[in-house]
Chains A and B, each alone.
Chain A
Amino acid sequence: MRNNLIFLIFLSLPIYAQKIENNKFNLLSPTNVKKFADYLYCSGDYLRAILEYNRYSAYSEDDTTKFKIALSYLKITNLNKAYEIFNSFNQKSLLFSYAEMESNKIFFQQNDYKSLRNNFNKIDSLKIFKFPNNLKELYYFSYLLANQPLPPLEKFLSPFEKSDLPKLKYFYEWKSSSPYKSTWIAAMLSALIPGLGKVYVNEYADGITALLATASLSYLSYSDFKAGHIFRGWVFGGIAAGFYAGNIYGSIASTQIYNVKIQYDFVNNLKVFIGEKKYFTPEIEFCK
């Protein structure tokens, strides 16, 4: 009997070994699909990682895979699809807080500050949400980018680290008293002295060129009239008037462009600051 049992065990060993080996080389087994998907995700091939994670989800659906699919969509800037998946997380899920945070980041990235604030008010009351401070930071950053009155300075600075307060104070003050320049002042200055409106918006070279063009053409016109060359006098006078009026117009246009430029620089600096300081944390490190 004992010998028979040993014989049976020996007989089954190759079968068992074969089974393990088969599983190891079955590339479409759930474990291997997941491994491959993780590999693709970690090497930055997000588009194919989504396909493999979806293939894996057909075998077994879990929140981590779902979260990684959403993150992959986020990485390839398909924000709507990413939001759709993040938003589907249940409150009982361990990844709920992370998913909510990612949803809010998407609102922030899409400049949808209204939805961000609505969501903030909704989530702030939830006790299960793990990152109220991070969300608060994002919430207050949104005030710097939206065209809305700012909250009081102390309230605004409250969720941030002490080391960042000077820079944040600078952003706050820039926003509260934006250094935009007036189109009217630029036009008046150019009317007074050609080119001065351009100098007002830091276009020094254009300002000097406008002054030289207007002055030299006016002088030509004056000297032609003085010498009795009436036709040439009118021609140069007309061109000088064109440059003079064009410069007033150009000063107004340049002021508008200047205002758009400083707003662009402000937003850019702010986004660089947010990126550098990793204010978009917390992020789960899936690839170590």
Chain B
Amino acid sequence: MTSITFSQANNWKWGKGNYSYAIKSDENKRDFSFSSDNIPVFVIKSLLNSYWFFISDVDGDNCPFTPSCSNFFLQAAQKTNFIQGSLMFFDRFTRDMDFFEKNKRYPSVEDGHYYDPVSLYALNKNEIKYLPPSIIVK
């Protein structure tokens, strides 16, 4: 009954979809531009561009999270400031190094990464939207 009701309320889903079976990864979405109004963010972006080009893209998709740790650092610095962004990055890196049962603590995205957005860690209670690990984020 619930599924029938749900399907009626979401009839836009019935349309034809354009699906790609290629593995989605952050590398495809990378923005190598340097444009930024903020000097610390500009510095971080320059360092990350080098890291992505010379190390990460060669090394492959190893970060278990979405956004990846490097993107997280950039987004955190953009959202807050350089110091808070750095603290958020160190905390994220600790969570990245943790080998114990991530699947019981984070929801997944469709490509298999764990969903761990910046908004959860910006110390703004109103922005924290808790998602149980059982769900798949689209």
Contacts and interface: CB of A to CB of B under 8 A. Distances in A.
A232 B132 CA distance: 42
Contacts of A76: 5, 8-9
A224 interface: no
B128 interface: yes
B115 interface: no
A210 B101 CA distance: 16
B128 A44 contact: no
For chain B, which range describes its interface: under 10, 10 to 19, 20 to 34, or 35 or more residues? Answer: 20 to 34
A209 B88 contact: no
A46 B5 contact: yes
Contacts of B22: none
B91 A256 contact: no
B94 A256 contact: no
B91 A246 contact: yes
A77 B9 contact: yes
Contact of B5 (A44, A208, A257, A260): A44
Contact of B94 (A75, A209, A264): A209
Interface in A251-288: 252-253, 256-257, 260-261, 264
Contact of B90 (A45, A247, A257): A247
B8 A46 contact: yes
A208 B88 CA distance: 18
B121 A250 contact: yes
Nearest to A77: B9
Contacts of A209: 94-95, 97-99
B93 interface: yes
B5 A256 contact: no
Interface of A: 44-47, 75-78, 203-206, 208-210, 213, 242-243, 245-247, 249-250, 252-253, 256-257, 260-261, 264
